């Protein structure tokens, strides 16, 4: 019988891609999402692409009773936990909401898991937990810190999970620290669909390319980097999702807490991304240099060696794939899932 996986936040950007890959790998997928930042259309498209069914519950993780009802109905082999709020700037304006949704939501989820004896979880952490790293590439044993409430929710959740694994050694926990996820499924059917003005670079560039925004603001060109603009480790969302499938396949052999960086190990600057997108899309990306964005760091890229070793996983898609796939999704769905 196939294993049953609960995917929280499965209607979202990374969750929908991971659900697709889990189905393709032969898992049964149940999704819980409150749709606060997504559309159920993403899951309908995953069903069409895979010709398989996803059981969907529109439930908020802060609702313990509703969550318990789902665990009563299904015996899960493991949980992949994406659900949460993720806008760094917004997290400073409404920190209580971020702490409630991300931390209280996760505590509820883990209490339900404990109660129904499902103690395997893969969690979406972030490279943001490294704060401003002393050097690059970043390894998992670098010191962790946070500079905003969003980052603190990731940091606290990691600590909560470590404490739980100490208290009950049956727990098997994989903390995946993502660098900068971009791209879309090669079908062009699912992708990133940010509400309002995108906070992140890649969706902003693609909205300029499609004519939805006039120009990109490049946040600073006086960083100590080769061209003065910020350098990041962009990773294709399908590579990232593939690492989740591998983590689920290997989790029974991983005791306690395993912490892994998910990146490519390569850094690209903002202007590298602009140039590559112009080449891939054939469109001109208008931009202007503006002040640095508060809280941004100069450069950040991963040493992904540990994930390569532990998961037998490696990012295989390069910058051209990231851009071609983003552009296919954006040009076929100029208004996202509302197109
Ligand atoms: P997303 O917003 O597309 O997906 C998150 C999903 O969770 C959404 O569908 C949203 O509706 C749902 N959700 C939010 N709060 C919920 C709640 N209380 N109950 C039920 N569902 C809820 O974001 P994403 O980019 O797919 O990110 C997934 C995870 O990865 C998040 O935890 C995010 O913090 C983390 N992450 C993302 C990035 C990135 O740049 N995209 C980088 C590092 C880590
Ligand atoms: C990338 C580069 C910007 C937008 C964020 C979160 C991090 C993680 C991933 C969740 C930087 C520059 C951006 C724009 C720009 N998310 N930029 N103009 O800041 O590396 O990481 O998303 O965990 O926690 O902080 O990603 O895509 O916002 O920025 O010049 O309009 O692009 O300064 O150098 P970031 P980003």
Mean pLDDT of 290-298: 97
120 lines ligand 2 (CB under 6 A): no
Instruction: Find the 163 Cα to ligand 2 centroid distance in Å.
Output: 30
Give the model confidence (pLDDT) of 113-145 as tens digits.
999 999 999 999 999 999 999 999 999 999 999
297 lines ligand 2 (CB under 6 A): no
Has residue 109 got a pLDDT over 80? yes
* Rounded CA separation 315/266 (Å): 11
Give the model confidence (pLDDT) of 144-183 as tens digits.
999 999 999 999 999 999 999 999 999 999 999 999 999 9
Annotate 18-74 with DSSP letters as a single string.
HHHHHHHTT-EEEEEE--TT--THHHHHHHHHHT---EEEE--TT-HHHHHHHHHH-
**Catalytic site includes residue 337:** no
Burial group, residue 134, by CB count within 10 angstroms (0-12, 13-18, 19+): exposed
Domain ranges of the chain: 4-183+233-263+301-315
102 lines ligand 2 (CB under 6 A): no
Has residue 107 got a pLDDT over 90? yes
Q: What is the pLDDT of residue 98?
A: 98
Q: What is the pLDDT of residue 12?
A: 98
Q: What is the pLDDT of residue 155?
A: 98
321 band by pLDDT with thresholds 50, 70 and 90:
very high
| In 146-221, beta strands by DSSP E | 172-178, 180-182, 216-219
302 has which bridge partners? 138
Has residue 339 got a pLDDT over 80? no
* Rounded CA separation 42/329 (Å): 12
Nearest bound ligand to the CA of residue 222: 2
Q: What is the pLDDT of residue 1?
A: 82
Name the percent of the chain lying above pLDDT 70: 100
Q: What is the pLDDT of residue 66?
A: 98
For the sheet with 78-81, list strands across it: 55-58, 28-33, 4-8, 78-81, 120-126, 172-178, 256-262
Q: What is the pLDDT of residue 198?
A: 97
For ligand 2, atom 33, the nearest C-alpha belongs to 219
Mean pLDDT of 302-323: 98
Give the model confidence (pLDDT) of 208-264 as tens digits.
999 999 999 999 999 999 999 999 999 999 999 999 999 999 999 999 999 999 999
Averaged pLDDT score across all residues of the chain: 98
Answer with the residue of higher pLDDT: 32 or 338.
Answer: 32
**Which one is catalytic: 13, 57, 150, 268?**
150
For ligand 2, atom 21, the nearest C-alpha belongs to 180
Q: What does the block give as tokens for 109?
A: 């989820």
Token look-up 């992708």 returns: 191
Has residue 95 got a pLDDT over 80? yes
Burial group, residue 104, by CB count within 10 angstroms (0-12, 13-18, 19+): middle
CATH of segment(s) 4-183+233-263+301-315: 3.40.50.720
User: Of 8, 17, 36, 263, which is best to mutate to test ligand 1, by the most ligand atoms within 8 angstroms of its C-beta?
Assistant: 36
Give the model confidence (pLDDT) of 48-70 as tens digits.
999 999 999 999 999 999 999 99
99 band by pLDDT with thresholds 50, 70 and 90:
very high
Mean pLDDT of 303-324: 98
Our measurement of the distance from residue 107's CA atom to the centroid of its chain's CA atoms, rounded to an integer in Å, reads 19
Longest dimension (CA), the chain: 57
């Amino acid at each position: 019988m196939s294993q049953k996986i609960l995917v929280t936040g499965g209607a979202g950007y990374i969750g929908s891609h991971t659900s697709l890959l889990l189905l393709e790998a032969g898992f049964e997928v149940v999704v819980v999402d409150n749709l606060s930042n997504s559309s159920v259309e993403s899951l309908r498209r995953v069903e069409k692409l895979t010709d398989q069914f996803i059981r969907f519950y529109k439930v908020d993780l802060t609702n313990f009773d509703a969550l318990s009802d789902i665990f009563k109905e299904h015996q899960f082999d493991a949980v992949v936990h994406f659900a949460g709020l993720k806008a760094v700037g917004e997290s400073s304006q409404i920190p209580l909401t971020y702490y409630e949704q991300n931390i209280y939501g996760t505590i509820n989820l883990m209490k339900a898991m404990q109660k129904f004896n499902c103690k395997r979880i893969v969690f979406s952490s972030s490279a943001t937990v490294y704060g401003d790293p002393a050097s690059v590439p970043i390894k998992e044993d670098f010191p962790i810190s946070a500079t905003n409430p969003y980052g603190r929710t990731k940091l606290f959740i990691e600590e909560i999970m470590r404490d739980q694994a100490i208290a009950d050694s049956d727990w098997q926990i994989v903390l995946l620290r993502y660098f900068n996820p971009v791209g879309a499924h090669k079908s062009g059917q699912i992708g990133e669909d940010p509400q309002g003005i995108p906070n992140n670079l890649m969706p902003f560039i693609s909205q300029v390319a499609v004519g939805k925004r006039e120009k990109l603001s490049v946040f600073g060109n006086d960083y100590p980097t080769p061209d003065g603009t910020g350098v990041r480790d962009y990773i294709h969302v399908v590579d990232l999702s593939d690492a989740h499938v591998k983590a689920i396949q290997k989790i029974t052999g991983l005791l306690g807490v395993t912490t892994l960086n998910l990146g490519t190990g390569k850094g690209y600057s903002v202007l590298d991304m602009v140039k590559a997108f112009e080449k891939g899309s054939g469109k001109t990306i208008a931009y202007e240099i503006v002040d640095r964005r508060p809280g941004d760091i100069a450069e950040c890229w991963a040493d992904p060696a540990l994930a390569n070793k532990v998961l037998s996983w490696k990012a295989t898609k390069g910058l051209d794939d990231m851009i071609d796939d983003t552009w296919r999704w954006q040009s076929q769905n100029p208004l996202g899932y509302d197109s």
